[in-house]
Chains A and B, each alone.
Chain A
Amino acid sequence: MEAELPTEYDVIVVGTGLVECIVAAASARVGKKVLHIDKNDYYGGQWASFTLRNIEQWVEEHTASHQETKNTEECALEEGEKLAPTSDPRRVYSKVKLSWHAQKAPRPSINNTCSSEDDSKLKSCSDEAPTASEESATKDDSGEGSSEETTTPKAETKDEAKEIKTWSQEEMMQLSRKFNLDLAPKLLFSRGALVELLISSNVARYAEFKCITRVLTWLVNGGDEGSLLVVPCSRSDVFTTSSVSLVEKRLLMKFLEFCHSYDQQPEQLEEYADKPFVDFLKSRKLTDNITHFVTDSIAMVVGDVPCKEGLERMKLFLTSLGRYGTTPFLFSMYGCGELPQAFCRLCAVFEGTYILRRPVSSLIINSGNTCLGLVSEGQRFKCSHLVIDAAYAPQEYAAIGSSPKQPSLSRGIFIIDRSILPNEKEQLTLLRLPAKDGNPQIVTILEVGGGSGVCPKDLYCVHMTCQGYDAEEDLKIAVQRLFGCGATSQPTVLMSLYFNLVDLSACDLVSGAPTNVYLCSGPDTELDYDFAIDQAKNVFTRMFPEEEFLPRAPDPDEIVFDNAGAEPKDGDNFDSNTKMGEKDEATVNPENRTDEEKALAADEVLSSTKEGSS
């Protein structure tokens, strides 16, 4: 197959990060010939999601010495051409540190893995002798209860309804594939740029989403340490919450209603146009309590931003509310790494060529400083446009480690044994810790559980993101607040991973590179994907100013397959449901099937899981 691989393309995309994938899909969609290439054996680059085993591998790769012996490949160059060697993309990461806090192996006396539903391997063992192992499991359970009472103080105050399982590293590794740990966890605003793009381009059929079910905040009352509270953001939240008074309920609702359509009442704003947001809140007689909810959790700004910006953010939040669920946010099922892949699928449907595990050693530049293509494994590929992950790009195009200090993200990933604020149902939680009361940085925290396909049932995965240069130090207060020092009600951290990542989103990625080389930055600090979408759109229009950006892709029933001569059979079925038609197509073309089954239009998925938890 490789021998037949064409060597000339309209666009070559290097790296499978989100921005690159969107550009690749958009290019293929309008009929451009696309080669998409990545040195990794996985999709997503800095946007990937990993199983537990893979993240260990990733950590290993990123903690090993960066000095890769670069074997500059031989390649016949014509006159005036020169090679610009690519960089090692690992250069954006630093201070990667993974620690296991769970015990290594399950306690020998307890054979409780047999009762774990998730472990298929062990389940088969219990299938062989179901009665015996079940009996032993129950016996063990009761034994555990009595022994724990005497040994660990935890057992005394344990939740009566649900006993917290004690996990070991071994057990977790056995369930490695149940994990989808995000390098770059982000949320979609239900009316944000990405959702609109997914719908308008019909890429939504390749992705599934869960609604974030609650927004939490850390509220410090008077001199106390503070505690977690649910932020009342929807009407039903405001109605049921007990954290605001009766009059505050009205004030808050009134303010939310105003923000929803603030731009239609400009006269109410004139006075505050350039004044801080917080002054405007005061003019609306909002109490301190509500001001906290509004600025920190709904607008997600600091109080002194200009009023207009605050209101814009409020509006984005509020217009997204209620479209799919009771909060404005969606989370990509099975991790955010699914999103780049969804765009890759579209690209592949429109005949984009994919090669993974294929390093790119250099770009070929001619005397007029135009990129002619690239060299990979000694082979030369030509292209008119080259799109490349900035981390991969030659150092002279996107310098890293230069002074002044480049902005950087501090990330923390934690696997914990119960929710930071347990509820009857599994919740998907967003929490934003403002930079006050001792916390140095604004920390965005996301807690997702087994229901979102990112970890085994009953475990939770907590993502922390903030600006900073030393993840472990920057997230110290946040970790202390949420996981404490082993207080009985707080979750136990089973695994933690810290790393830092250079944030290139604000860098000038244009002027350093040849005009037909387009650099794509990795994830930024923002919660949503708007920046990535903007960047992708920008790259695409620079390449093809005349072309439409991701027009709607056809549904399967609009596509005529070469071998699809047969009419769908009516049989005894009177039902005119369109889904039936889709299934017919899927059987005609079995290759499509897995995609078909997975791919439900976003609206369908969301209507069936309206609350994200049904």
Chain B
Amino acid sequence: MHGRLKIKTTAEQAAEKQKEREGKRKLYLGGVTKAFEKRSSGTHDEEGLKITAQLLAANPDAATLWNFRREILLALKGDDESWEKLLTGELAMVESCLMKNHKSYGAWHHRFWVMMNFPKPPWKAELSLCDKYLKLDERNFHCWDYRRFVVLGSNQQPEDELKFSQHLIEHNLSNYSAWHYRSKLLPLVHPPPSNTPHPISEGALIKELQTVVEAVFTDPSDQSPWFFLRWLVNRQEKVPRMLQVGYVRYKGDSGLVICVFSQPVPQRAVPFIRLNGADSDETLIWYAPNDEDYSNVWVAELNLSSVEAHTISLIIDPSMTEMLNVGEGSTQAIEWVTTLEVGGEELSDTARSTLEEVKDNCVTLDELDPGNKWVLLTLVDVMWALDCHTHQKKIHSYLSQLQELDVLRNKYYADMKSKLAMETSLKQYRIVAEVGSKFELSGHSLTRITLSHLLASTASIDLSRNDLTSISPLSNLVACRKLILDDNQIQNLAPLAGLKALESLSLTHNKIQSLEQLKVLEGLSALTELNVSANPVCDLDNTGEDIRKILPHIKTLILR
């Protein structure tokens, strides 16, 4: 028979809980005191293990107790067999702590320590422990870290791990950690041939794209697969290429040797250049115009009077020597030994058709689900990769849509538009223009200057009627003689301070407020023409005189 039921009131329950908690608190504090006493007296015994085990089971985040526990363990370490037994017990103990808090730093750290101390670590069991905790919380980064450690130790093959990530993704396509893990494993299992810009081999790329496209069709609003998809279509040049090398004279015999690279490189990457005719191997002192450690453009001063013959030779690698004529005939001579490629390497046919397919799929998706940010963003990426010039209009309109959809990142998309405008017109410019000629990109609402290193050899540049506020990338325009920056929002001219070839600078309708802002131009001895009309600085008294004072080289100064 069941006893007569009486149900406790909530007040009774609360009081009971309170009492229980009070009791536990006392026990816990007592245990901590005892453990600390033992530690300060240097007592390392079984009892210490027992006390810390209980305390840590209740609070796995007490790092000091873990430390003490490790001290005891090391003190008790005996022969391999007993040591192994002790450590096996530790694994069980840590797991009980993990059950309490599966994101405890202390517990996971201890597990690492135990495994590293094991004579023969039980790797296989640890792998299934990881499976278990990643099932519990698929983004538990402690467990992901631990898994990588176990995979390394157990010699688990990346192929198997790839299958594991596949399994997780199939279960939940929002598992960002699993997608990311995949992006780390794929290059190991399917490495790309060294000369391709793809992250993985083409065969794997096609397969992976197929899967991820299915994921984005299933749920286009989930960002995890999109990140993976964008990683797949993103092409990364592995080895920076030297795009150009040249010489520009800026005053009399003074000039600069210029090296342009496809990616920012450190100084040590600049090839050795020997000055022909000079008996000694006069070394050039390279510096980056932007004063950074890594730069796309490296320049070195070279005074022609020190070079007897009018050629210098350039040793790019032992098998390749280029001769560069810096002869007298060309007073502003720039001779480029390498031609410039803006878009990087051409796509292979397979890669192209794969990308085309992704593009078509995204277009379909955009029709089915108009206004999805990730679809548009990926379309931008893919079309850009295919050919930013032919798709320029489309890309531009997608970016405009994105600006409306994703207001918080409005400026980011504006920067993308600027990059698009720069890249397409640079491509066009390189196709039609002669070396050293004029580059013009005015009235494009540019907010940002990109790829400025590709203009390092250009003599005349017009970026007027844009929205530029910062012009720091313009420090790369080392060969520029005429620069037009009218109708922008520029205040700071410091990036122009190193443009030694600059002869004419137009800055009308900007935000130059003070003489100090102009003072940075004082080292430009070639600069003879300056137009600062329609800037706040013009409203000051005696502006003209003051400017001439600080910039004595100026011959033509326009203020109004």
* Partner-B contacts on A (CB < 8 A): 235-236, 238-240, 246-247, 249-251, 253-254, 348-351, 554, 557-563, 568, 570, 572, 574-576, 589, 591, 610, 614
- Nearest first, the 4 closest Cβ-Cβ pairs linking A and B are A574-B58, A239-B218, A560-B6, A249-B217
Residue-wise, chain B 2-45 has the 8 Å CB interface mask toward A (1 for contact) of 11111110000100000011011001100000000000000000
* Complex contact A239–B27 (CB within 8 A): no
- CB-CB < 8 A to A572: which residues of B? 27, 54
* Complex contact B219–A574 (CB within 8 A): no
Complex Cα–Cα for A271 and B131 (A): 50
| B15 → A minimal CB distance (Å) | 12
State the total of A-B contacts with C-beta under 8 angstroms: 85
In the complex, which of the residues B4, B58, B170 contacts A240, with contact meaning CB atoms closer than 8 Å?
A: B170
* Complex contact B369–A559 (CB within 8 A): no
* Complex contact B364–A247 (CB within 8 A): yes
| A227 → B minimal CB distance (Å) | 22
Complex Cα–Cα for A575 and B97 (A): 11
B351 interface hit (Cβ, 8 Å): no
* Complex contact A247–B368 (CB within 8 A): yes
* Complex contact A250–B57 (CB within 8 A): no
23 A-B pairs with C-beta separation under 8 A: A236-B172, A238-B218, A239-B170, A239-B214, A246-B214, A246-B364, A249-B214, A249-B218, A250-B220, A253-B219, A254-B368, A349-B2, A554-B5, A557-B13, A558-B13, A559-B8, A563-B3, A574-B27, A574-B55, A574-B57, A575-B58, A575-B100, A576-B20
**B residues 322-376 touching A (CB-CB < 8 Å):** 361, 364-365, 368-369
| B207 → A minimal CB distance (Å) | 14
B173 interface hit (Cβ, 8 Å): yes
Beyond the given pairs A558-B13, A574-B24, A575-B58, 12 more chain A to chain B contacts, judged by CB atoms under 8 angstroms and listed by A's residue number, are A238-B218, A239-B214, A239-B219, A251-B368, A254-B369, A559-B7, A560-B8, A570-B20, A572-B54, A574-B57, A576-B20, A591-B2
* Complex contact B3–A350 (CB within 8 A): no
B85 interface hit (Cβ, 8 Å): no
Given known contacts A235-B173, A236-B171, is B4 in contact with A576 (CB within 8 Å)? no
- B contacts with A: majority SS: helix
B215 interface hit (Cβ, 8 Å): yes
Given known contacts A254-B368, A570-B27, A574-B57, is B173 in contact with A560 (CB within 8 Å)? no
Complex Cα–Cα for A575 and B213 (A): 47
- CB-CB < 8 A to A236: which residues of B? 170-173
Which chain A residue has the least Cβ–Cβ distance from B58? A574
Given known contacts A250-B218, A250-B365, is B7 in contact with A558 (CB within 8 Å)? yes
**Chain B interface residue bracket vs A:** 35 or more
Residue-wise, chain B 171-184 has the 8 Å CB interface mask toward A (1 for contact) of 11100000000000
- CB-CB < 8 A to A250: which residues of B? 217-218, 220, 365, 368-369
Which chain B residue has the least Cβ–Cβ distance from A326? B171
- CB-CB < 8 A to B217: which residues of A? 246-247, 249-250, 253
Which chain A residue has the least Cβ–Cβ distance from B100? A575
**B residues 208-225 touching A (CB-CB < 8 Å):** 213-215, 217-220
In the complex, which of the residues A239, A246, A247, A614 contacts B173, with contact meaning CB atoms closer than 8 Å?
A: A239
* Complex contact B173–A562 (CB within 8 A): no
Which chain A residue has the least Cβ–Cβ distance from B7? A554
* Complex contact B5–A589 (CB within 8 A): no
**B residues 110-161 touching A (CB-CB < 8 Å):** 135
Interface centre among B3, B55, B58, B172 (most CB of A within 10 A): B3
Complex Cα–Cα for A41 and B479 (A): 102
* Complex contact B5–A349 (CB within 8 A): yes
* Complex contact B3–A561 (CB within 8 A): yes
Residue-wise, chain B 184-202 has the 8 Å CB interface mask toward A (1 for contact) of 0000000000000000000
* Complex contact A560–B7 (CB within 8 A): yes
Which chain B residue has the least Cβ–Cβ distance from A568? B20
- CB-CB < 8 A to B3: which residues of A? 561-563, 589
- CB-CB < 8 A to B5: which residues of A? 349-350, 554, 559
| A566 → B minimal CB distance (Å) | 13
Which chain A residue has the least Cβ–Cβ distance from B172? A236
In the complex, which of the residues A558, A574, A610 contacts B8, with contact meaning CB atoms closer than 8 Å?
A: A558
Which chain A residue has the least Cβ–Cβ distance from B23? A570
Residue-wise, chain B 280-295 has the 8 Å CB interface mask toward A (1 for contact) of 0000000000000000
Complex Cα–Cα for A560 and B5 (A): 7
- CB-CB < 8 A to A348: which residues of B? 2
Interface centre among B5, B173, B364 (most CB of A within 10 A): B5
Complex Cα–Cα for A439 and B514 (A): 90
- CB-CB < 8 A to A249: which residues of B? 214, 217-218
Complex Cα–Cα for A614 and B171 (A): 14
* Complex contact A562–B4 (CB within 8 A): yes
Which chain B residue has the least Cβ–Cβ distance from A239? B218
Complex Cα–Cα for A514 and B314 (A): 112
| B10 → A minimal CB distance (Å) | 9
- CB-CB < 8 A to B24: which residues of A? 570, 574, 576
- CB-CB < 8 A to A561: which residues of B? 3
| A557 → B minimal CB distance (Å) | 8
Complex Cα–Cα for A574 and B55 (A): 8
